[in-house]
Amino acid sequence: MRTRHLFVTLLAVFPLCSFAAWKLDNNQSELKFLSVKNNAVIEQHAIKQLEGSLTDEGKVQLMLDLSSVDTQIPIRDERMKTMLFRVADYPKAMLEGEVDVSGLGDLKTGETLSQQVSLKLNLHGAINPVNADLMITRLVDDTLMISSKSPVIIDAKAFGMESGLKALQEVANLNGILPSVPVFVNLAFVPDES
């Protein structure tokens, strides 16, 4: 198992690579996260619109459209967009870097490689490292599924989102919202034939 460090750039400066060997299939992919309110109630949410690429060299980009947040409650969606994510100022979140693709050529359909990687996340105007334990599985038609083996923990405080959490807490009349959020991904990359 090989560890690689991933580097983040702003989407505006470095747009998604057009020379990718694989591109993200949003219809087969999912990004979900959990929140805990009042120290007891766990709720599941999702980001519905994802875009990404994976090159033959293992360079990965993943862009999250934060305006596509889905909490299953429309008023809460709007509050998260305006109060927490502040999508008018920070519409996207971005991950970029490398995974070790040296063993992918030998993977047969259904086989999986595990990798521990150190990522950097650009969210809400701040860039911070996050650690991820990933599985890369080859599916039919050379699709690669990159999944979280364990949850990726994101600390909202590290991204300067405390005021947004406080605003959500007050408007919903909650005792508290935990700032640490577990994130789970299943990202399907299909061959890019463009």
pLDDT 10s digits, 153-183:
999 999 999 999 999 999 999 999 999 999 9
Q: Which residues touch 154 (CB under 8 Å, ≥6 apart)?
A: 33, 121, 123, 130, 180, 181, 182, 183
Number of domains in the chain: 1
Q: Which of 73-77, 99-103, 167-171, 172-176 has the lowest mean pLDDT?
A: 99-103
Q: Is residue 10 part of a domain?
A: no
Element (H, E) at 164: helix 162-171
Q: Is residue 7 part of a domain?
A: no
Rounded to whole angstroms, the Cα distance separating 184 from 125 reads: 22
Structure tokens of 41? 């109630």
Q: Is residue 11 part of a domain?
A: no
Rounded to whole angstroms, the Cα distance separating 62 from 58 reads: 13
Question: Which range of residues forms the domain containing residue 79?
Answer: 22-191
Q: Is residue 65 part of a domain?
A: yes
Q: Is residue 17 part of a domain?
A: no
| pLDDT, position 89 | 97
In this prediction the pTM is: 0.85
CATH number of residue 38's parent domain: 2.40.128.110
Q: Is residue 123 part of a domain?
A: yes
Q: Is residue 130 part of a domain?
A: yes
Q: Could you tell me which residue, 52 or 141, shows the higher pLDDT?
A: 52
